[in-house]
Each structure stands twice: as structure tokens, then as C-alpha cells.
């Protein structure tokens, strides 16, 4: 096959961080404010599209807990960013009709942070901890008795006068979310009664999500336009919604209307260099690096990460999952390789690559 050469120089990676990408599945700083992510979040099981298996499990567990007037079992939600973990935690609280306290492991560094959260829980309430794999050892140890026996063991005093005081907590539900389930310690993992994994969404589901958001944004969106966005949003609702907003801007400036058809989607995404599979310069640069190393790799994760100016953990949990899912790259013990499908894609997208 013909070798497609990359236009990217090594220096392109400098200052071009994955975080700034339009197709970054992770939340961009301040995005929830500026793009009102919260406003389009589904609020109930009925509103939540796709993930049918997970939704059924959660819906049955919720109904059972409600009818027994008990707190829901602790829930661990994992999967790539932007697929609905936080949304599901909020839906659980909504469906149970209980309070939801939201926190994130990096904000719980000091013991008093987690103690404060636990002491403020309401009976049957939900405590949502995002990025739960990042909890400190101390925070985890405070959580264990809280999760198992709804008890907080506090050490009062120091040295020889130190003693433990047990404080009774109301029955509550911990909902933990993570993109890196393998990094959760096994004692913590074992304390979740329900563990559910989020999958990338199917085209039809994304089509429904996009139509729902279009409705909310008061856009008139053709069927073909909606499917084209669905094809390019990497199976991820957060990206679908973000693309839709950018296309809405484009439509407004180009046509002064809120009407979006297929050609508007194609032209607008061409401007943003998002190709027919939802890949951008960053992904294509990664694929080209593989292509240019022995015609397809293997290249180690750390080498890829440093050449792309991204950290290895982000590359592995944010960028790679979709490329693996669509079969463009493969993980091998010797590093990442580019598949025939990946090579074919680079050839097909040669125009956008050379822009
Ligand atoms: N099943 C769904 N139906 C409709 N919209 C959805 C669905 N899942 C997610 N979304 C939309 O995608 C956005 C991102 O979802 P959410 O914040 O729940 O992702 P996440 O998995 O928590 O991501 P992260 O790992 O970055 O925290 C939400 O604001 C919501 O509008
Ligand atoms: Mg989240």
C-alpha cells in the first residue's frame, strides 16, 4: 500500500495539548458553564438514551431500593469520558428522590474533607465521588467502615492519648465514577455492590441524543445532518453535543439561520478538521507516527505520549479507547500498532490530512 506521509513536524506537538481538542471526550475547563452541559443532561431513566443493559440494572435496583425504603447499594460506574457516568449518578438521586452530594477524589486530599462530606450525608442520600481511583490511602481507610457499617472511625488525640471514636452515619449510597477501573484498589472495588461499565454509543442512540439536544437548542436539524454528527462524535454524547453547538455557530454565521443540513455539518467539521470518523489532527498525528515507524509500529505508549506532548495516562484513558474500539490501532506487548483499517483511513482522509 502507498505510504501516506505526515505533514506534522515534531514541533507541532508543542503547545497542542489534547485537552484543547474539539473532539476531546473529557470535559473542558469551564465547559459546563459556557456550554451549559448541565442543562442538556437527561434527568430521568426515560430521558437517558442507550446503555440499555446498564440502565435496566440500575432501574431495577433503584425500584427495589425504593420499595424497601432502603438506600441503594454502593455503585461503581466506569468507562471512557463523556459517556454519562455523572449523568447517571444524578439520575439515580433524582429517581430515588434523594439528595446528591458531588465531589471528586482530588478534592478529598485531607482527611477532614472526606469526614466533612460523610458527616453531612442525609439518610438514603447519594455521595458521588468522581475520579474515585485517585482517592488517597487515608481517605479510602476512612471510607471502608462508612461503606460497610455506616460508621465513621475518627482518631481523637495524639500519641499515647489517641483513641478512636465511632460515629454512626445514616445509610447512604456511594456512587464512584472512574475512567481507570484498573487503578482502583481491590479492597475499595470489593465494597461496591453494583459495578457497571459504560460502552460507546451506537449510531441510532447518538442520533436520538443529538435530536434531543437540537430540540433543546431550538435547531431545525435534518435527519442526514443528525446521522453525520452521530458518525463523527466518537460514540460519545459529550462530543456530539459539543459538535452540534459548533455547527450551530457555523450555521448562524453562514446562513443567519438555525437550520442545519448535511452540507453545513460537513463544511463546519471540515473547518475544525474533524474527519468522517470523528478523528482530528491529534489522532491522525498519532496514527501517522505509527505508520512512519516500520510501516505501522509497534511504538511504546511513553514514546507516543512524549512525541504528542500528552501524558501517557491521558493518552491511554482518553485518546486511545476510541481508536481501539474502531479497530484503527491495537495494543500489543511491544507497543501500539496501526491496523490495516487505520492505514486505509489515513489514505481516504488524505485531503483533510494535507490541509
Ligand atoms: N445516555 C445519554 N443520553 C443523553 N445525553 C447524554 C447521555 N449520556 C451523556 N449525555 C450527555 O453527555 C454529557 C456528558 O455526560 P457525563 O458528564 O455524564 O459524562 P461522564 O461519563 O461523567 O464523563 P467524565 O468521565 O468526563 O466525567 C452530559 O451533559 C449529557 O448531556
Ligand atoms: Mg463525569
Bridge partner list, 101:
127
The 8-class DSSP code of residue 55 comes to H
Cα distance between residue 50 and residue 116, in whole Å? 36
Catalytically annotated residues = 85-86, 130, 179, 238
Q: For 56-117, list the strands marked E by DSSP.
A: 75-78, 100-104
Contacts of 332 (CB under 8 A, 6+ apart): 298
0.75 exceeded by the pTM?
yes
Domain 31-37+201-271 in this protein, CATH class: mainly alpha
| Structural domain boundaries in the chain | 10-22+277-354, 31-37+201-271, 51-197
**Looking at domain 51-197, which CATH architecture does it have?**
3-Layer(aba) Sandwich (3.40)
Residue pair 309/13 in contact by the 8 Å Cβ criterion: yes
Nearest atom of ligand 1 to the alpha carbon of 237:
12
Residues 6+ apart with CB under 8 A from 185: 140
Residue listed under C-alpha cell 453531612:
120
Of 201, 195, 202, 194, the residue nearest 64 (C-alpha): 194
β-bridge pairing 329-332 and 335-338: antiparallel
- Residue closest via CA to ligand 1's atom 16 equals 84
Q: Which CATH number describes the domain made up of 10-22+277-354?
A: 1.10.10.10
Kindly state the DSSP code that residue 10 receives in the 8-state scheme: G
Measured from the alpha carbon of residue 178, the closest ligand is: 1
Q: What is the pLDDT along the chain (355 residues), one digit of tens a residue?
A: 444 444 443 334 334 456 678 999 988 766 654 456 678 899 999 999 999 999 999 999 999 999 999 999 999 999 999 999 999 999 999 999 999 999 999 999 999 999 999 999 999 999 999 999 999 999 999 999 999 999 999 988 888 888 989 999 999 999 999 999 999 999 999 999 999 999 999 999 999 999 999 999 999 999 999 999 999 999 999 999 999 999 999 999 999 999 999 999 999 999 999 999 999 999 999 999 999 999 999 999 999 999 999 999 999 999 999 999 999 999 999 999 999 999 999 999 876 655 5
Separation CA 272–CA 275 (nearest Å): 9
**pLDDT of amino acid 87:** 97
Residue written as grid cell 436539524: 221
- Nearest atom in ligand 1 to the alpha carbon of residue 38 is 29
Mutate which of 24, 33, 41 to test ligand 1's pocket (most atoms within 8 Å of Cβ)?
41
CA distance from start to end of the chain: 22
C-beta separation of 187 from 174 below 8 A: no
- According to DSSP, the residues that pair with 196 across neighbouring strands are 77
Please tell me the predicted confidence (pLDDT) of residue 114. Answer: 96
Residues with beta carbon < 5 A to ion ligand 2?
85-86
Amino acid at each position: 500500500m502507498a505510504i501516506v506521509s505526515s505533514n506534522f513536524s515534531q514541533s507541532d506537538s508543542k503547545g497542542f495539548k489534547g485537552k484543547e481538542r474539539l473532539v476531546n471526550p473529557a470535559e473542558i475547563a469551564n465547559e459546563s458553564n459556557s456550554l451549559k452541559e448541565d442543562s442538556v443532561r437527561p434527568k430521568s431513566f426515560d430521558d437517558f438514551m442507550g446503555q440499555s443493559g446498564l440502565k435496566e440494572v440500575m432501574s431495577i435496583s433503584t425500584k427495589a431500593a425504593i420499595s424497601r425504603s432502603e438506600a441503594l447499594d454502593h455503585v461503581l460506574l466506569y468507562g471512557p469520558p463523556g459517556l454519562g457516568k455523572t449523568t447517571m449518578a444524578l439520575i439515580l438521586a433524582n429517581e430515588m428522590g434523594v439528595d446528591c452530594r458531588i465531589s471528586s477524589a482530588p478534592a478529598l486530599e485531607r482527611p477532614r474533607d472526606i469526614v466533612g462530606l460523610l458527616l453531612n450525608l442525609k439518610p438514603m442520600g447519594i455521595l458521588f465521588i468522581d475520579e474515585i481511583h485517585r482517592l488517597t490511602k487515608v481517605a479510602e481507610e476512612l471510607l471502608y467502615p462508612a461503606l460497610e457499617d455506616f460508621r465513621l472511625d475518627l482518631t481523637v488525640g495524639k500519641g499515647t492519648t489517641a483513641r478512636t471514636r465511632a460515629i454512626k452515619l445514616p445509610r447512604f449510597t456511594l456512587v464512584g465514577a472512574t475512567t481507570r477501573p484498573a487503578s482502583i484498589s481491590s479492597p475499595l472495588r470489593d465494597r461496591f455492590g453494583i459495578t457497571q461499565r459504560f460502552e460507546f454509543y451506537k449510531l441510532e442512540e447518538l442520533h436520538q441524543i443529538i435530536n434531543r439536544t437540537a430540540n433543546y437548542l431550538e435547531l431545525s436539524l435534518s435527519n442526514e445532518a443528525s446521522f453525520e454528527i452521530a458518525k463523527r462524535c466518537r460514540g460519545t454524547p459529550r462530543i456530539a453535543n459539543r459538535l452540534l453547538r459548533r455547527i450551530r455557530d457555523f450555521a448562524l454565521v453562514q446562513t443567519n439561520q438555525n437550520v442545519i443540513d448535511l452540507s453545513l455539518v460537513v463544511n463546519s467539521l471540515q473547518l475544525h478538521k474533524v474527519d468522517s470518523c470523528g478523528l482530528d489532527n491529534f489522532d491522525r498525528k498519532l496514527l501517522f507516527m505509527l505508520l512512519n515507524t516500520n510501516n505501522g509500529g509497534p511504538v511504546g505508549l511513553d514514546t507516543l505520549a512524549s512525541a504528542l506532548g500528552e501524558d501517557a495516562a491521558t493518552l491511554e484513558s482518553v485518546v486511545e479507547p476510541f481508536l481501539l474500539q474502531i479497530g484503527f490501532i491495537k495494543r500489543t506487548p511491544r507497543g501500539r500498532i496501526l491496523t490495516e483499517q487505520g492505514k486505509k483511513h489515513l489514505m481516504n482522509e488524505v485531503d483533510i490530512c494535507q490541509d
